[in-house]
Structure 1
Amino acid sequence: MTLEIVLEGPQRLMGKDGKTAFVIREATTKDLNDVIMINRKVLPENYPTWFFVEHLEQFPKAFIVAEIDGRVVGYVMSRVEYGWSNIQKGKAVRKGHIVSVGVLPDARRLGIATAMMLRAMKAMKVFYGASEVYLEVRVSNMPAISLYEKLGYKVVGRIPGYYSDGEDAFLMACPL
């Protein structure tokens, strides 16, 4: 990706449609109700409020939201862990984990998820010392898999029955 992502303050970007401007920035506690609403609306995997609060408090630089005209339309919630590498077998590393990504349907196909992911990934490397990042994605979610592949992620495993409905997940990882 050639998109230049900044790590300080809000960043104003133009959507892929050439007419819709959006802003990506670090989330604040004021954004959490909107983030939770987006999560409930667009994802079958929902988390309790404390889970969002905990991630915002522990990894604020890598919890990113997007706005269009001042309305939060998307988020990326991340954390950084220490554990076995998903890329370099047998090596322990600091690794970022994209926990949840959501964009409202009316704000999709503008490049918002790409911009938020790039900012979260860069923040995990710069502020939290991660050397790689990983995520889980439904094996049937081809739009998300395609996005992640464009960002440099590769499928490194499959987790049987990962989701509550029994669907498998791909484990995807990317060096930072």
Structure 2
Amino acid sequence: MTLDVSTEGPQRMLGKDGKTEFVIREATYRDLNDVIAINRKVLPENYPNWFFVEHLEQFPKAFIVAEVGGRVVGYVMSRVEYGWSNVNKGKAVRRGHIVSVGVLPEARRLGIATAMMLRAMKAMKIYYGASEVYLEVRVSNTPAISLYEKLGYKIVGRIPRYYSDGEDAFLMACPL
């Protein structure tokens, strides 16, 4: 997998439908209300407002939003940690963590999540020194698992009852 996206400034892209234009860029404080609204609308896991602010302050280069027609329609919130590798067992590394990904239903299937993920992953590598990235995903979320596999992630573990409703999560990881 190549991280062939820019990490500087807004990027204009054409959706997979061949007609919808979208922009991916770093999030700003002005975007947080939209990001939080997307999180509340499309994901059962919701975070307090301060959690979004904290990630934007600490890892601004890896907090990515997507716009269609000037409206924020998606986000990827990330952080970088130091811990045991999910890729090279027994080794301590700087690893990126995709904390949350959300795209409004009307903006799905255009390649927006893929573009945002690639930009966040590249930023975690370039700006924060991550050598790998990981995430948790519901075992029932087949579309997300397929997306992550397409980006080079592999299932490296299963976390029982990870979600508040008791569903397990797959732990997926990818070298950068």
Q: Against the structure 1 CA distance between its residues 14 and 87, is the aligned structure 2 distance closer, same or farther, given a 3 Å change threshold? A: same
Show the counterpart of 2:40.
40
**Structure 2 gap ranges (5+):** none
The letter of the residue matching 1:85 is: S
Distance 2:7 2:136 in 1: 25
Deviation at 1:4, TM superposition (A): 3.4
The letter of the residue matching 2:67 is: E
CA-to-aligned-CA distance 1:47-78 (integer Å, 9 cap, x gap): 00000000000000000000000000000000
**Structure 1 gap ranges (5+):** none
Show the counterpart of 1:161.
161
Show the counterpart of 2:110.
110
Deviation at 1:2, TM superposition (A): 6.5
RMSD of Structure 2 on Structure 1 (CA): 0.9
Q: Is the 8 A contact 2:3 2:121 kept in 1?
A: no
* TM-score, normalised relative to structure 1: 0.99
* TM-score, normalised relative to structure 2: 0.99
The letter of the residue matching 2:150 is: K
Aligned length: 176
Show the counterpart of 2:8.
8
Distance 1:89 1:174 in 2: 13
The letter of the residue matching 2:75 is: Y
Please list every run of at least 4 consecutive aligned residues from structure 1 whose deviation after the TM superposition is greater than 3 angstroms: 1-4
Distance 2:88 2:6 in 1: 28
Show the counterpart of 1:135.
135
